[in-house]
Structure 1
Amino acid sequence: MTEFSTWEWIRASGWSAYFLLFISICFGMMQKMGFISKSIGRYLLIAHQTAGWFAFLLAFFHGFLLYFDDYQPFSILEIFIPFQSKYQPIFTGLGIISFYSMFLIFLSTDLLKQVGRNVWKIIHLLILPSFILASLHGFFIGSDTDETWSKIVYASAIFVFLLLNFFRFFAKSKKMFENY
């Protein structure tokens, strides 16, 4: 039977959380684009929400496992308080902030009726800088940082993210100009 080290679980949960966050954001943006039919949009919404929840859970697991790592153990404060880590405090802090913004987005979604749709939308937009922070976190302190394939994955994800934002902005701008 193959045994996995804590480091392998930390690495796998980090990569999985990042991939699912990327999928969730992409499907969330695509769902609201004018060229996507409502029937497909419903499936994109389900995939967006499901991938987002699993990304959040895996990100929590990723941070939680750092406490148990033998090579680079983190204290509870280092895991939950941004910029307190002895190891790469800036980039570790960016990952923690990204995690907290994901938490805030899920919390506001659960409390949508209490916070109102406009506040929810503003909070929901935090996922855009959160994704950039998660990308920087992984790019600069991930265990595969020096690997070419890792750099290509992060660069490709950010490129697709920016491209979808461009299309989203263009679609909104086009609708705005059509109303005049």
Structure 2
Amino acid sequence: MKKYAVDFSHSTIGFSVRHMMLSKIHGTFESYKAEIAVSDIEQLEDANILFTIAVASVSTKNLDRDVHLVSPDFFDADIYPKIIFTSTYIEKLEKQKFAIHGDLTIKKITKPIVFTTVYTGNGVNPWAQEVYGFQAKAKIDRRDFNLVYNTILETGGVLISDEIDVVVDLEINPL
């Protein structure tokens, strides 16, 4: 198995959530570690993937909201400082499309999740290093992880939707 490193300056772990049932708020996690090992990076089926995300690194471009997200109302980062994803198995869906099944742990609650993942290609960067690209998408229900804070709006809707879209864009390099 060959190991790969994430190129952090060209990768993003992002999420979005509907706000007031009108628009979407987007955010990222700025600090994370990844362990990726696979015999053939373009095939993925035998890959072992582990991501550990620092909850306190959440960024939505609004400091007050970011502080609220790491508070006990949401992630409670002082008690639960990490989000962890561990792949369990990977199935090939199409030529360059895969379903990465795994366990997602938030606030010590572990639930199965599936990332629909597209291999976006490879190349050699200006420093003669191999580069491989992937985009992975999933939807989670935040209530499954005890992220239940919300407010009822006067119009009858809610401030924050329960469904969270997760998008991971990765550039990786062989070690």
TM-score bracket, normalised by the shorter chain, equals under 0.3
**TM-score calculated relative to the size of structure 1:** 0.25
Identify the structure with bigger relative contact order (alpha carbons < 8 Å, sequence gap 6+): 2
